[in-house]
Amino acid sequence: MLTIRKASERGLANHGWLKSHHTFSFGHYRNPREQGFSDLLVINDDRVSAGKGFGQHPHRDMEIFSYVLEGALEHKDTLGTGSVIRPGDVQLMSAGSGVAHSEYNHSAKEPVHFLQIWIVPDVAGAKPRYQQEHFTPAQKRGRLQLIISPDGAKGSLTVRQDARVYAGLFDEGEEATLAVGQGRYAYVHVACGTVELNGQRLNEGDGVRVREEAAIHLARGIDAEVLVFDLRPNELPEMP
């Protein structure tokens, strides 16, 4: 069963320097029907103006990853990490017992477009940590590349939860199929372009809850970039 959440139904925060679409309830956007899915709590689609960004602010007990689509995002945190995240990079910060970070557009001229995604961890109070890895277009072209997993398989970043995240690029005749384990849920987010999921046409910003499906099949993409989440069969996130 596919339950489609259209891009136009998302929450919107427009602060001038920041334009953010919220798939699930976040900040001032509250929707009782959209409180997350399984262990997936937040998908924010952020566009930040040149030279602007989020000042230092704290987090704890959350797995937070950033996925840059255009431009460059500058990250600093109280772990001593300083990095610039560009398209193809995946950054995962495990807040654990507590960490503060800032995120700014690295460019003084060009905007940055990125996704920030929160996954609820399976343990509270763990040691904070930072990971970053680059995945080339060739690794994602016409296939679903594992980018995040519980065990760091295939060079993926390690998340503190029974969740896996895949990224893929699809155009013209490219297609890929991912088996959904028995009793598992999945969530599909179209970051860019358009694509068909099990025969259903999806557009940029659309998301889909996947239940009771044996597989996810992506095809007929047009400049499509897609994230697929393999998740536990829970309807709503629960903090550890």
pLDDT for the residue 101: 85
Contact of 98 with 62, CB cutoff 8 Å: no
Residue 91 has pLDDT above 90, yes or no: yes
- Specify if 37 maps to a domain: yes
pLDDT for the residue 108: 87
- Specify if 162 maps to a domain: yes
CB proximity list for 20: less than 8 A, separation 6 or greater: 12, 13, 14, 44, 45, 46, 47
pLDDT for the residue 98: 94
pLDDT for the residue 81: 85
Longest dimension (CA), the chain: 48
Report pLDDT digits (tens) over 28-80.
999 999 999 999 999 999 999 998 888 888 899 999 999 999 999 998 888 88
State the Cα–Cα distance between residues 164 and 150, nearest whole angstrom.
7
Residue 82 has pLDDT above 90, yes or no: no
- Specify if 24 maps to a domain: yes
State the Cα–Cα distance between residues 188 and 207, nearest whole angstrom.
5
pLDDT for the residue 54: 83
pLDDT for the residue 104: 79
Report pLDDT digits (tens) over 105-136.
888 889 999 999 999 999 999 999 999 999 99
Contact of 92 with 148, CB cutoff 8 Å: yes
- Specify if 223 maps to a domain: yes
Report pLDDT digits (tens) over 139-151.
999 999 999 999 9
State the Cα–Cα distance between residues 78 and 74, nearest whole angstrom.
14
pLDDT for the residue 66: 95
Q: What percent of the chain has pLDDT over 90?
A: 87
- Specify if 120 maps to a domain: yes
Which residue range(s) make up the domain with 119? Answer: 2-231
> Domain holding 49: CATH number?
2.60.120.10
Tokens representing residue 234 in the block:
């829970």
What is the count of structural domains for the chain?
1
